[in-house]
Amino acid sequence: MSKIELKDWQEKIRTPEIECISRDEMASIQSKRLVEVVNRVYDNVPFYHEKMKDLGVEPGDIKDISDINKLPFTTKEDIRNNYPFGLRAVPEEQVVRVQGTSGTTGKLTVIPYTQKDIDVWGECLARELTMAGLTKEDRIHICYGYGLFTGGMGLDIGVSKLGATAIPMSSGNTKRQMMCMEDFGATAFACTPSYALYLAESLKEAGVIPRLKIKAGIHGAEPWTKAMREKIEGILGINCFDIYGLCEISGPGVAMDCIHHKGLHIQVDHFYPEILDPGTGTATKEGEYGELVFTTLSKEAYPLLRYRTKDITSIDYSRCDCGRTLPRISTFKGRTDDMKVIRGVNVFPTQVEQALVSMGGAVAPHYLLVVDRVNNLDVLTVMVEVDESYFSDEIKKLDALRDKVGKVLKQALGIAVKVKLVEPKTIQRSEGKATRVIDNREI
């Protein structure tokens, strides 16, 4: 196959009556559903009943979606403290499935679903599979893991809803994956981007790519870059899409990007997003970055109010070139866990990275933030590696480079920064969780 160029792409929209409606029309759907969900959790989940009482909020105070900021937050810790099913909002007999996640801290998060929850989840995915150009004629090779993890099962439910054929491979055994992909004539596949790249390279090595019918890849559950997407697309001659989800909210399919790759369209008739200042918990200006917070508008078994994802992003509400009005979240800028409040300003390490990259190679994008408190004043030092091509043997030129980096960072972060140029390769490389910030303040 060969990758379909944007000009030749024919957009298919499964539910234009939802995906392309005006913001006001969407708000009225959201308002109606918010009122319902608030009543349900108030009546059926003691945790929310207490929380709302503590805030002095009654279900009657919530009249439309703009009242959402009166509602209490839910955190990952709240879910853990009510492990396993303490936040369930329906009687046991209505639950038909549980899915979950093994957190990095050990304790599981397990989420129950009613049949309607499964249907909604599947519907969101079916919209997104359609967005990837797939129809019921397609065969989708699912090499996400099946089991408690939502990846495999979630895609499976979505493929069923679309009416396409699910090939439930689960993860692992690349040889067998390659054989089945070829023999069964899969037209799309779904897995993490890192496995997609590995599989693509293995397929290339085995020389089977010319015999494949694959035309699309659906990848998510870990961050990846445009360069990585283009690499997978290039090797396999396909179009790849970025899918996002979290099991607390439903699973994969909360959002996905379209062929224009200008942010991930959120299924906002079911999952209401807010972007909040992580420090104060108040809404940021539209288009600005902040913490992504979700309220499930239609969930029955396990509705969550204002769940704090800790992911930092921004939302674009303008109509997309694909025709959808579903708002789009941008690439995640980082996690609130990495955020530092320095002299009252929220600073994310990824902002530093982006600023350094924008300097076009003058310094390497390897850096370390060190926060100190000197005479009751926060001091941010950014250690930056000098790049070989920009090294000058004159001190005045290095001083000028340092000053320039300082200026660029001040512009990006909004606070003054002390820059320290260091030798190459002295800063730890990031393979996932590198230390990007050292906070020496005693607060």
Partner 1 sequence: MIKQLSVFVDNRPGSLSEITDNLKEAKVDIRAIASFDTPEFAILRLIVDKPEEAKEFLADKGFIVKISDAIGVELTDETGSLNNLLSFLAEADINLNYIYTFIYRNRKAPVLVFGTDEIDSAIKTLKDAGEVLVDHSEL
Q: Whole-angstrom Cα distance, residue 260 to residue 270?
A: 23
Residue 8 contact among partner 1, Zn ion, none, beta carbon within 5 to 8 Å by kind: none
Please, are residues 422 and 384 in contact by the beta-carbon 8 Å criterion?
Answer: yes
Instruction: Rule CB under 5 A: choose which of 258, 292, 329, 413 binds Zn ion.
Output: 258
Does residue 426 belong to the site contacting partner 1 (CB under 8 A)? yes
Are 39 and 59 in contact by the 8 Å Cβ rule? The answer is yes
Other residues' Cβ atoms within 10 Å of the Cβ of residue 120: 24
Q: How far is the CB of 357 from Zn ion (least distance, A)?
A: 25
The letter for the amino acid at 73 is F
With a CB cutoff of 8 Å and minimum separation 6, the contacts of 210 are: none
The number of C-alpha atoms within 13 Å of 112 and in the hemisphere containing its C-beta is 19
Question: Could you say which of Zn ion, partner 1, none residue 322 binds, taking C-beta under 5 to 8 angstroms by partner kind?
Answer: Zn ion
Nearer to partner 1, 293 or 386 (CB): 386
| Length of the chain as a residue count | 443
Considering only 17, 337, 388, 442, the residue that binds partner 1 (CB under 8 A) is 388
Q: Which does 61 bind (CB under 5 to 8 A by kind): partner 1, Zn ion, none?
A: none
- Determine which residue in the list 391, 403, 416, 438 makes contact with partner 1, applying CB under 8 A: 391
Tokens of 302: 């396990």
Choose from Zn ion, partner 1, none: what does 420 bind? Cβ within 5-8 Å by kind: partner 1
Does residue 398 belong to the site contacting partner 1 (CB under 8 A)?
yes
Select from 26-34, 47-55, 324-332, 387-395 the region that touches partner 1 (CB under 8 A): 387-395
**Cβ atoms of residues 47 and 86 within 8 Å:** yes
Which option in partner 1, Zn ion, none does residue 395 bind, with CB closer than 5 to 8 A by kind?
A: partner 1
Number of residues that bind Zn ion (CB under 5 A): 5
Per CB under 5 A, 268 contacts Zn ion = no
Q: In whole angstroms, how close is the CB of 416 to partner 1 at the nearest point?
A: 17
Per the structure block, which two tokens stand in for 260? 């224009």
Residue 371 phi, psi (nearest 5): -110, 125
| Using rule CB under 8 A, residue 395 touches partner 1 | yes
SS3 sequence, 407-436?
HHHHHHHCCCCEEEEECCCCCCCCCCCCCC
| Cα of 241 vs its chain's centroid, Å | 13
Shortest gap between Cβ of 392 and partner 1 (angstroms)?
Answer: 8
Angle between helices 193-206 and 174-183 (to 10 degrees): 70
Using rule CB under 8 A, residue 98 touches partner 1: no
Q: Among 50, 58, 222, 399, which residue interacts with partner 1 (rule: CB under 8 A)?
A: 399
Which entry of partner 1, Zn ion, none binds 320, CB below 5 to 8 A by partner kind? Zn ion
Quote the tokens at residue 296: 């499930």
> Using an 8 Å Cβ cutoff, are 41 and 303 in contact?
yes
What SS3 class is residue 200? helix
For partner 1, give the closer residue by CB, 82 or 381.
Answer: 381
Q: Which is nearer to Zn ion, 34 or 254 (CB)?
A: 254
Residue 421 interacting partner from Zn ion, partner 1, none (CB closer than 5 to 8 Å by kind):
partner 1
- The window from 44-52, 81-89, 113-121, 322-330 that contacts Zn ion (CB under 5 A) reads 322-330
The tally of CA atoms less than 13 A away on the side-chain side of residue 269 is 21
Position 374 contacts partner 1 (CB under 8 A): no
Residue 89 interacts with Zn ion (CB under 5 A)?
Answer: no
Per DSSP, helices labelled H in 163-261 are 174-183, 193-206, 226-236
Q: Quick one: which of 54, 423, 431, 442 contacts partner 1 (CB under 8 A)?
A: 423
Hey, what are 105's tokens?
A: 């801290």
Candidate residues 107, 176, 425, 441; the one interacting with partner 1 per rule CB under 8 A: 425
Binding site for partner 1 (CB under 8 A): 386, 388, 391-396, 398-399, 420-426
